[in-house]
């Protein structure tokens, strides 16, 4: 039996802190619902008769909308509204917008998506500002969000299959309301984009842009590419689930390595661009390559976020450039894939190589200005 006194002090404090329990629970629920809705909302909109191009427009415009909102209004709102009040207001507004989806009316759906887009933009930065106090806390939180994604992949379809779209939306709305008690905070260090860009190093901004550029490009390209190689939809889903599980399981270890300034992380990062280059060259080894990708990418978000928060900057500004990457990545990669899939993966490998160099530079405390 493990005695309490034998547990490391930082873990003991974490276990005994109720606020951390609530915070991590809220982070799980917010990411679980976000991922679930990203899966079932397009199906629902198609189910009620909206044309495919309209559904695609609603889905694809979200990252660009969030970037513009974070880049323009985020700082002004955060300066005028206390973080705790804004968080609670955002939770209630997003829950209401989710419940509003049950009204099968185009106007109601439009209002629902606008409200969710505006207030949903604030939720994740406010939670990450509270949790990103150290590399270990960032790594634990990242594990929680990855686990939420894995659960949502399996559960979203099951929930809809069991109770239908309308009851599922009401269930998600009530579940989201349970996160209203989480502690949320502003990041400080300037909240307006112009102020932060003037004071902050470029490295973490470039890093999160490239990380999300590559990741969301893979979400677009890889399922289609592997399917053309003969892999079934079920197998492709399993590949991504295993990749996410490996990535999430490594996060606590990565957090300790970052805080211990361990040079082994440099070796892990070398796997990141290498795996991207191997995908089109050896598609039959896709499961192994995705595991290598998970290992190679595991330190990136932790180091980027730790570096950014150590400078005292708000997560909303950093995440704005992540959303920009998640919009431009699929757009450019999709266009290149029309010419040649290998060319598209090659540019991702080059982007991954640049990203690995930036992360290594940040890890060695030599900021790129």
**Mean pLDDT per 10-residue interval, the chain, length 369 residues:** 55 62 87 80 72 60 72 77 87 90 78 78 83 78 86 78 86 91 69 62 88 86 80 76 86 81 77 89 86 90 85 79 84 83 90 91 62
> Residues of CATH 1.20.1250.20 domain(s) within the chain?
4-177, 193-363
Measure the CA–CA gap between 165 and 358, rounded to whole angstroms: 43
Domain 193-363 belongs to what architecture?
A: Up-down Bundle (1.20)
**Residue closest to 147 by CA, chosen among 290, 295, 29:** 29
- 10 Å CB burial of residue 180 (0-12, 13-18, 19+) is middle
Measure the CA–CA gap between 264 and 326, rounded to whole angstroms: 29
Measure the CA–CA gap between 191 and 73, rounded to whole angstroms: 10
**Residue 355's pLDDT is what?**
92
Cβ atoms of 207 and 359 within 8 Å: the answer is yes
Cβ atoms of 66 and 323 within 8 Å: the answer is yes
**Residue 349's pLDDT is what?**
92
Supply φ then ψ for residue 42, to 5 degrees.
-60, -40
What's this model's pTM, rounded to 2 decimal places? 0.76
Q: Hey, what CATH class is 4-177 in?
A: mainly alpha
Cβ atoms of 293 and 30 within 8 Å: the answer is no
Residue 303's alpha-carbon distances to 128, 270, 353, in angstroms, are 14, 15, 16
Helix (H, G, I), strand (E, B), or coil: what is residue 41? Answer: helix
Measure the CA–CA gap between 77 and 317, rounded to whole angstroms: 13
**Residue 1's pLDDT is what?**
45
**Residue 369's pLDDT is what?**
41
Helix, strand, coil percentages in the chain from 3-state DSSP, rounded to 5? 85, 0, 15
Q: Is the dihedral of CA 88, 90, 96, 102 positive or negative?
A: negative
């Amino acid at each position: 039996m493990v005695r309490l006194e034998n547990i490391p002090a930082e873990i003991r404090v974490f276990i005994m802190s109720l606020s951390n329990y609530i915070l991590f629970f809220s982070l799980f629920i917010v990411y679980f619902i976000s991922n679930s809705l990203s899966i079932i909302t397009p199906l629902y909109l198609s189910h009620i008769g909206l044309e495919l191009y309209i559904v695609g427009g609603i889905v694809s415009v979200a990252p660009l909308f969030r970037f513009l909102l974070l880049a323009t209004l985020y700082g002004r709102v955060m300066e005028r509204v206390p973080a705790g009040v804004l968080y609670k207001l955002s939770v209630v507004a997003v829950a209401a917008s989710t419940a509003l989806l049950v009204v099968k009316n185009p106007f109601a759906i439009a209002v629902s998506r606008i409200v969710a887009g505006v207030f949903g933009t604030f939720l994740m930065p406010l939670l990450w500002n509270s949790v990103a106090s150290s590399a270990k806390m960032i790594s634990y939180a990242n594990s929680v969000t990855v686990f939420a994604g894995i659960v949502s992949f399996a559960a979203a379809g099951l929930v809809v299959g069991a109770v239908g779209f309308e009851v599922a939306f009401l269930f998600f709305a009530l579940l989201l309301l349970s996160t209203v008690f989480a502690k949320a905070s502003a990041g400080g260090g300037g909240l307006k984009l112009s102020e932060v860009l003037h004071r902050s190093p470029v490295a973490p901004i470039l890093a999160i842009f490239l990380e999300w550029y590559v990741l969301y490009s893979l979400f677009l390209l890889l399922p289609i590419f592997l399917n053309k190689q003969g892999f079934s939809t079920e197998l492709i889903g399993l590949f991504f689930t295993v990749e996410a599980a490996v990535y999430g399981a490594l996060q606590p270890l990565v957090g300790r390595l970052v805080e211990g300034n361990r040079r082994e992380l440099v070796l892990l990062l070398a796997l990141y661009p290498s795996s991207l280059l191997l995908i089109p060259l050896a598609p039959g080894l896709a499961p192994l390559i995705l595991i290598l990708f998970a290992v190679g990418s595991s330190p990136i978000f932790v180091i980027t976020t730790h570096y950014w928060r150590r400078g005292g900057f708000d997560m909303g500004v950093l995440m704005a450039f992540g959303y920009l990457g998640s919009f431009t990545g699929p757009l450019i990669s999709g266009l290149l894939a029309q010419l040649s899939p290998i060319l598209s993966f090659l540019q991702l490998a080059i982007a991954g190589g640049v990203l690995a160099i930036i992360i290594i530079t940040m890890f060695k405390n030599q900021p790129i200005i």
